[in-house]
Chains A and B, each alone.
Chain A
Amino acid sequence: MSLLNLKLRVWRQKNGTSKGAFVNYDAPNISPDMSFLEMLDVVNEKLITQNQEPIAFESDCREGICGACSMVINGIPHGKERGTTACQLHMRHFKNGETIVIEPWRARAFPLIKDLVVDRTAFDRIQQAGGFVSVNTGSAPDAHAILVHKDNAEKAFDAAACIGCGACVAACKNASAMLFVGSKISQLAHLPQGDPERKRRAKAMVMQMDAEGFGSCTNTLECEAVCPKEISTRVIAELNWEFMRS
């Protein structure tokens, strides 16, 4: 495959209090085998050698599991490939000469730090409110003392696959975090281990979610379309159920 010449329109913003704007960059000679972030690396490398500040974006594992990368590519969080994080999105999906618009996650609960980097600690605080099973180290019974129906284990896993990237919030027209919260609630709701605390957990996590300033869900289902782990909005229905029970 031949190399791509691309144009980028990237949101640049020095920090949360300053005003941001789009800046245009050329990205010439991009290999179709590069990941989207590697393409940005190339652009950044050039900026650095010109002693200019590179485009700030987050990434760590670059294999789609840590949830660090977070950018809206051409109007869709993580870009248009389904079930794919930005770091796993490859340039072979773009056309030569294309202009790519890159924006940060935009939500009140995710204050902007710089360029494409936002503060997602709201997610941590929601988890701290109750996204766990209270079991002290060493107090667990033998693993086989707890039987879990295979279907329930699978459902729990489907929900537990969440990587906490925040694409659901970014995609939602209300910047709602229901898919994120629902995935933890659903995971533990399908396991006997999660049962004793289910009421307290659902209530506390929803209260924290509201307090962080996320919007509420209007069931547009946009979140599941952009979720890199393709978590179903079933978890939101389950969250609603768990909340009603609480």
Chain B
Amino acid sequence: MASISAKILMALSGLFLMGFLLVHLLGNLQIYAGPEVFNAYPETLRHYPVLLWTARVLLILAFTLHILTSIYLSTKNKAARPVAYAQKHSVQASLASRTMLLGGLVILGFLLFHLAHLTWRWVFPEYAALDLYTLTVLSFQNSLVAAFYVLAQVFLALHLSHGFSSAAQTLSLTRWCATTFRFAGYAFALAITLGYVSIPVSIWLGLVHA
């Protein structure tokens, strides 16, 4: 496969995942509306199994594609420079752009933890039978869990801040105005992250409670 084709697949799957992040965030923010609303949200989704499973399959596909293309491309990229520089300075490459792979791996690790925590409910077996709202609130009262979530969101922010404009560049949307996309990327990453981070932080601070 041509490198650019792989990049396009990576960009498209990345954009899809960004869309998911946004939708997922909107769902999560309902926590501020109290347990009834928050607990009703997954129930509502379960009423539309076709929609839910289509979304899940697409998500799994997008993740797989994103990961596979990243493996494919980063293997090639590593091979392209067999001897490393003894001294190398970046002039304008951002930290985010240079740490996409690391960021991606952290996010993948977080994702698995997140699924184990709130979907499969393996992390706190003692809370497994509780409703989602209570489970969420009780978990984030644990400082370690809250901190881990916040940390993961920082990595997500970095990943998105580059990923957004990078996808736009790969899809050639930046032909006219590269800076717009760069700042849109920063704004998107910031908004998503603040949204997600607010939840564990609010719970940990006791602003949201059981």
- Decide whether A and B are members of one complex: yes
Using a CB–CB cutoff of 8 Å, the interface residues on chain A facing chain B are 11, 22, 72, 74-76, 80, 101, 103, 106-109, 171, 173-176, 206-207, 209-210, 213-222, 224-226, 232-234, 236-241, 243-244
**Residues of chain B contacted by A22 (CB below 8 angstroms):** 86
Given contacts A11-B86, A106-B85, A244-B4, 8 further A-B contacts (CB under 8 A): A107-B80, A176-B77, A176-B80, A209-B3, A219-B162, A219-B169, A219-B170, A220-B98
Contact between A241 and B80, CB atoms less than 8 A apart: no
Nearest 10 pairs of A and B residues by beta carbon = A215-B80, A75-B89, A241-B172, A174-B77, A220-B93, A216-B3, A225-B91, A215-B77, A175-B80, A220-B97
**Residues of chain B contacted by A174 (CB below 8 angstroms):** 76-77, 80-81
Contact between A216 and B76, CB atoms less than 8 A apart: yes
Report how far A212 CA is from B77 CA in the complex, Å: 12
**Residues of chain B contacted by A214 (CB below 8 angstroms):** 80
A-B pairs with beta carbons under 8 Å apart, 22 shown: A11-B86, A72-B87, A74-B87, A108-B81, A171-B91, A209-B3, A213-B80, A214-B80, A215-B79, A216-B4, A216-B6, A217-B3, A217-B170, A219-B170, A220-B93, A220-B94, A222-B92, A225-B92, A237-B169, A239-B4, A244-B8, A244-B171
Quick one: which of A76, A222, A241 contacts B175, CB cutoff 8 A?
Answer: A241
Q: Is B165 interfacial (CB 8 A cutoff)?
A: yes
Report how far A57 CA is from B182 CA in the complex, Å: 38
Quick one: which of A222, A232, A236 contacts B93, CB cutoff 8 A?
Answer: A222
Closest CB of chain B to A20's CB: distance in Å? Answer: 8
Contact between A76 and B6, CB atoms less than 8 A apart: no
**Residues of chain B contacted by A238 (CB below 8 angstroms):** 172, 175
- Which chain B residues in 165-210 approach chain A with CB under 8 Å? 165-166, 169-175, 178
Quick one: which of A173, A216, A232 contacts B73, CB cutoff 8 A?
Answer: A216
Report how far A13 CA is from B159 CA in the complex, Å: 38
Contact between A108 and B171, CB atoms less than 8 A apart: no
Residue on A nearest B81 in the bound complex, by CB? A175
Report how far A213 CA is from B4 CA in the complex, Å: 14
Report how far A240 CA is from B172 CA in the complex, Å: 6
Closest CB of chain A to B82's CB: distance in Å? Answer: 5
Chain B 69-104 per-residue mask, 1 if CB under 8 angstroms from chain A, else 0:
000010011111111111111111110011010000
Closest CB of chain A to B157's CB: distance in Å? Answer: 17
Name which of A80, A218, A221, A236 has the most chain B CB atoms within 10 A of its CB. A218
**Residues of chain B contacted by A207 (CB below 8 angstroms):** 2
**Residues of chain A contacted by B98 (CB below 8 angstroms):** 173, 220
Q: Is B66 interfacial (CB 8 A cutoff)?
A: no
Determine the interface band of chain B, counting residues with CB < 8 A from chain A: 35 or more
Contact between A108 and B86, CB atoms less than 8 A apart: no
Closest CB of chain A to B78's CB: distance in Å? Answer: 8
Closest CB of chain B to A243's CB: distance in Å? Answer: 5
Report how far A222 CA is from B98 CA in the complex, Å: 10
Quick one: which of A109, A173, A224 contacts B77, CB cutoff 8 A?
Answer: A173
Chain B at the A interface: SS class: helix
Contact between B83 and A237, CB atoms less than 8 A apart: no
Residue on B nearest A112 in the bound complex, by CB? B83
Chain B 140-162 per-residue mask, 1 if CB under 8 angstroms from chain A, else 0:
00000000000000000000001
Report how far A107 CA is from B80 CA in the complex, Å: 6
Report how far A41 CA is from B33 CA in the complex, Å: 73
Contact between A219 and B92, CB atoms less than 8 A apart: no
Contact between A218 and B80, CB atoms less than 8 A apart: no
Report how far A11 CA is from B86 CA in the complex, Å: 10
Report how far A220 CA is from B79 CA in the complex, Å: 18
Report how far A224 CA is from B174 CA in the complex, Å: 15
Quick one: which of B3, B83, B97 contacts A221, CB cutoff 8 A?
Answer: B97
**Residues of chain A contacted by B79 (CB below 8 angstroms):** 108, 213, 215
Contact between B174 and A108, CB atoms less than 8 A apart: no
**Residues of chain B contacted by A74 (CB below 8 angstroms):** 87, 89
**Residues of chain B contacted by A80 (CB below 8 angstroms):** 89, 91
Quick one: which of B3, B84, B94 contacts A106, CB cutoff 8 A?
Answer: B84
Closest CB of chain A to B21's CB: distance in Å? Answer: 20
- Which chain B residues in 37-63 approach chain A with CB under 8 Å? none
Name which of B91, B97, B170 has the most chain A CB atoms within 10 A of its CB. B91
**Residues of chain A contacted by B73 (CB below 8 angstroms):** 216, 218
